[in-house]
Amino acid sequence: MNSQQPVIQLKNVSKTFGEVRSLSDVNLEIFPGEIVGLLGDNGAGKSTLVKTIMGFHKPDDGGEIWFKGEKITDWSVAKARSLGIETIYQERALCEQQPIWRNMYMGREIVNRFGMLNVKAMKAEATRLMSEHMGFTSVAVHPDNPVQTMSGGEKQGVAITRALHFEAELVILDEPTVGLSLSETKKTLDFVQNIKKSGRSAIFIDHNIFHIYPAVDRMIVLDRGKVAGMYKKSEITMDELIESMYRVARTGNLKEQN
Amino acid sequence: MSQDSQEVKPKANAARPPSFWRRFGMQFGIWSVGIVMWLAFVISAPSSFTHPEIYLAFAATTPIFALMAIPLTLVVITGEIDLSFPSIMALSTCAFAKTVSGGAPIFVGVLAAVAMGLACGFINGYLVTAFNIPSLVITIGTQFLFLGLELAWTNGSGADLTDPKFNLIDKLLVGRTFFGIANQFWWTIFATGVLWLVLNRSKFGSHVFLTGDNKISAQLMGVNVNRVKRWSFALVGVFSALAGMIGSFEVSYFWPTMGGGLLLNSIAAVFLGGTSVFGGTGTVTGTFVGAFIIGAINAGIVAAGINAFYTQVFFGLVIIASVILQAIISRRVKK
Ligand SMILES: Nc1ncnc2c1ncn2[C@@H]1O[C@H](COP(=O)(O)OP(=O)(O)OP(=O)(O)O)[C@@H](O)[C@H]1O
Ligand SMILES: [Mg+2]
């Protein structure tokens, strides 16, 4: 497979909720080994785009999702995950009364050859991942503890670890650093770099341009559901990017004249 | 419960498992209620409660609603409820009686009953998931629908089950094999074991918990919550068919109005057993114990010479108390 073949490609994807058009005619592609930053105001449609890529939202008629050069017709979250797309959702998608291990393996449980859950393996892995990956060692981080007893950052750690440990080809991170401490934020940003180093791809959403700009290869700006612009990092400095983000918010245009 | 003083103090930063109280508090509560209740009966009616007869009696009667309460636990964990299972019980046993009286072999009749139970359960599950109707409401509808169909089919008349051709199935379902204990008691233990495995050691079981805990989270992670709910309702349907046949063979007669008094018994067993009214947590073993506590209340009230009308009062109090207890415990865990 050459690197020109996108991992995922959206063609004319729109999403309407009743009267609200959250995405309109979005076209984008993510290539292997590429980290793409997704920028845009609150309500621009970033999370909706993520959930559409994941198959949680079905695009309006006419929109197409292609995975590695193949048009996907029966898209669903289970299918997206089995093909190798994992997401850290903005709302974290945890089941708080359930123990950590069940959250970690939600929807992708480990079963033995008789189809029975291998609870022991899941608990052992969950413990190892939480302490080695995130360095979480507090009292609450025992695999049998319900997620609701953990701190906010630890809960997020569960969601982050969960998305990373399946070695997905495409990892989507929707504001992963919000609420994390300085050192956990740094770890999360390192994870993004590791994704790139191992030749996999990521979509990275964060309102902090100081997180996005150093981490990514390319940036896509969403505005009111439309792709307002795309930049390679070489085409724009951080200051210019900040300037144009303000302009988009004000006028809906990226560049000064049009 | 406070930290045990002998326990080695964990290092300030070591992961610790949930405390004993948090893990087993609910189970502990259920067993305590059971034991206290039993002691009360032993004291108030020692002549009945120190002889085995009364235990043999409720080992025969309790399974009929316990068998439905156990799968109902799964439905409640997914955050739904089923009020129609007594009607499914009647309709599927009717399917058995009609098939067999039409000349078909017994096992075909059993298959017909199970298929009917399965179909009714799926209808419930389908209506709940496809139209997003609260199950509390839609299963009131199907409760009347299934019972109405059965009454129309039988024209209100029952069927005798004493024919010698029923000997084998009768022995199998309701015979007295070990120590004079009714076979349905062993079937109930077997069912509890099987559904424990389903709930705690299968993907489906994991998804039952996740669906009831947070439906959107589960969907975002790829759990097919509608399919989980449909199968949970289907399980209640299948077990209702079994309970219906056991209940009928126990009295050697198929009563078209069977199941009438069982709704509250089963639901009380589930909630008394510690399954959350809010969904997301619950155990089948708790329901099993809960069912036998309810069975003991039934038997005990009569044996203690209390006016049988008071059973309703007891049930009411037990359900209210267990649900309040749950609310208190779950609030404490969240803090
Ligand atoms: N399930 C839904 N039903 C109706 N409207 C929705 C739904 N999900 C999103 N929207 C609407 O779509 C728009 C885009 O929302 P989205 O969550 O994608 O924004 P966002 O770019 O992620 O914003 P933020 O930076 O605040 O997270 C909003 O106007 C929101 O109200
Ligand atoms: Mg968002």
The contacts found for A72-79 with CB under 8 angstroms, 24 or more apart, are A76/B222, A77/A107, A77/B219, A77/B220, A77/B221, A77/B222, A78/A107, A78/B222, A78/B223, A78/B224, A79/A55
- pLDDT category at B10 given cuts 50, 70, 90 is very low
**Radius of gyration over every alpha carbon of chain A, rounded to an integer in angstroms:** 19
The mean per-residue pLDDT over the stretch A213-219 comes to 94
* Residue in A closest to B330 by C-alpha: A97
Asked, for residue A104, whether it belongs to a domain, the answer is no
pLDDT in tens, B204-220: 999 999 999 999 999 99
- Which residue in this structure is represented by tokens 């079937």? B187
pLDDT value at residue A62: 93
The contacts found for A80-85 with CB under 8 angstroms, 24 or more apart, are A80/A53, A80/A54, A80/A55, A80/B222, A81/A107, A81/A108, A81/A166, A81/A168, A81/B221, A81/B222, A83/A169, A84/A166, A84/A167, A84/A168, A84/A169, A84/A170, A85/A8, A85/A53, A85/A54, A85/A168, A85/A169, A85/A170, A85/A171, A85/A172
Total number of domains in chain A = 1
Distance CA B142, CA B83 (A): 8
To 10 degrees, the CA torsion angle through A112, A116, A118, A119?
180
* Residue in A closest to B201 by C-alpha: A117
Q: Give buried/exposed letters for B273-306 (b at 16+ CB in 10 A, else e).
A: bbbbbebbbbbbbbbbbbbbbbbbbbbbbbbbee
Q: Which residues of A touch B23 (CB under 8 A)?
A: 144
Distance CA B32, CA B239 (A): 28
Instruction: Please state the atom number of ligand 1 nearest to the C-alpha of residue A207.
Output: 25
Indicate whether B241 pLDDT > 70: yes
The answer to whether B10 faces chain A, any CB pair under 8 Å, is yes
* Residue in A closest to B11 by C-alpha: A139
Mutation to test the A interface, candidates B220, B329, B332, most A Cβ within 10 Å = B220
Q: Please state, rounded to an integer, the average pLDDT across all residues of chain B.
A: 89
Distance CA A105, CA B210 (A): 11
Distance CA B59, CA B71 (A): 19
Distance CA B332, CA B21 (A): 11
Q: Which residues of A touch B276 (CB under 8 A)?
A: 97
Asked, for residue A205, whether it belongs to a domain, the answer is yes
Indicate whether B157 pLDDT > 60: yes
Distance CA A119, CA A14 (A): 41
- The protein residue with its alpha carbon nearest to ligand 1, atom 2, reads A17
Write out the E strands in B218-306: 253-254
Between A35-44, A127-136, B194-203, B323-332, the lowest mean confidence (pLDDT) is in B323-332
Q: Which residues of A touch B275 (CB under 8 A)?
A: none
CA-nearest of B67, B73, B108 to B238 is B67
- Which residue in this structure is represented by tokens 């010479």? B305
Asked, for residue A156, whether it belongs to a domain, the answer is no
Q: Is the CB of A90 under 6 A from ligand 1?
A: yes
The answer to whether A110 faces chain B, any CB pair under 8 Å, is no
Task: Name the burial class of residue B43, with classes exposed (0-12), middle (13-18) and buried (19+) by CB atoms within 10 angstroms of its CB.
Answer: exposed
pLDDT value at residue A256: 59
Asked, for residue A100, whether it belongs to a domain, the answer is no
The mean per-residue pLDDT over the stretch B99-125 comes to 97
For residue B243, give how far its alpha carbon lies from the nearest alpha carbon of chain A (Å).
27
| More confident site: A78 or A249 | A78
Distance CA A214, CA A177 (A): 15
Q: Is the CB of A2 under 6 A from ligand 1?
A: no
Asked, for residue A244, whether it belongs to a domain, the answer is yes
Distance CA B243, CA B263 (A): 13
**Maximum CA pair distance of chain A?**
65
Domains and CATH numbers, chain B: 60-334 (1.10.3470)
Q: B201, A139: Cβ pair inside 8 Å?
A: no
H, E, C per residue of A14-81: EEEECCEEEEEEEEEEECCCCEEEEECCCCCCHHHHHHHHCCCCCCCCCCEEEECCEEECCCCHHHHH
Q: A102, B203: Cβ pair inside 8 Å?
A: no
CA-nearest of B148, B157, B146 to B98 is B157
Distance CA B165, CA B28 (A): 46
The mean per-residue pLDDT over the stretch A103-126 comes to 94
CA-nearest of B91, B90, B63 to B265 is B63
* Residues of chain B by 3-state class (helix, strand, coil), percent to 5: 75, 5, 25
Asked, for residue A195, whether it belongs to a domain, the answer is yes
Other beta carbons less than 10 A from residue B68's beta carbon: 32
- pLDDT category at B300 given cuts 50, 70, 90 is confident
Q: Which residues of B touch A172 (CB under 8 A)?
A: none
Q: A95, B214: Cβ pair inside 8 Å?
A: yes
Beta bridge partners of A220: A38, A230
Indicate whether A257 pLDDT > 60: no
Task: Name the burial class of residue A188, with classes exposed (0-12), middle (13-18) and buried (19+) by CB atoms within 10 angstroms of its CB.
Answer: buried
Indicate whether B15 pLDDT > 70: no
Q: Let me know: does A106 contact B221? Beta carbons within 8 Å.
A: yes
User: What angle is formed at CA A31 by the lines to CA A189 and CA A169, rounded to 5 degrees?
Assistant: 60
Calculate how far, in angstroms, residue A205's C-alpha sits from the geometric centre of ligand 2.
8
- The protein residue with its alpha carbon nearest to ligand 1, atom 28, reads A43
Q: Is the CB of A46 under 6 A from ligand 1?
A: yes
Phi, psi of A134 (to 5 degrees): -100, -15
| More confident site: A134 or B83 | B83
Q: What percent of chain B has pLDDT over 70?
A: 93
pLDDT value at residue B334: 57
- How far is CA B297 from its chain centroid? 16
Handedness of CA B285, B286, B291, B296 (dihedral sign): positive
Write out the E strands in chain B: 159-160, 176-178, 181-182, 253-254
Amino acid at A226: K
Distance CA A245, CA A185 (A): 23
CA B99 vs CA B90, B115, B138, B161: distances in Å:
14, 12, 29, 13
pLDDT value at residue B301: 79
Q: Is the CB of A225 under 6 A from ligand 1?
A: no
pLDDT in tens, B43-101: 888 888 888 888 888 899 999 999 999 999 999 999 999 999 999 999 999 999 999 99
Q: Let me know: does A188 contact A177? Beta carbons within 8 Å.
A: yes
- pLDDT category at B14 given cuts 50, 70, 90 is low
pLDDT value at residue B7: 47
CATH number at residue A23: 3.40.50.300
The answer to whether B193 faces chain A, any CB pair under 8 Å, is no
Distance CA A222, CA A40 (A): 5
Query: Three-state DSSP class for B189?
Result: helix
Q: What pTM does this model have?
A: 0.92
Indicate whether A76 pLDDT > 50: yes
Asked, for residue A54, whether it belongs to a domain, the answer is yes
CA-nearest of B170, B80, B76, B162 to B127 is B80
Indicate whether B147 pLDDT > 50: yes
By residue range, what is the domain housing residue A49?
8-93+169-251
Phi, psi of B202 (to 5 degrees): -125, 160
Asked, for residue A125, whether it belongs to a domain, the answer is no
- The protein residue with its alpha carbon nearest to ligand 1, atom 6, reads A17
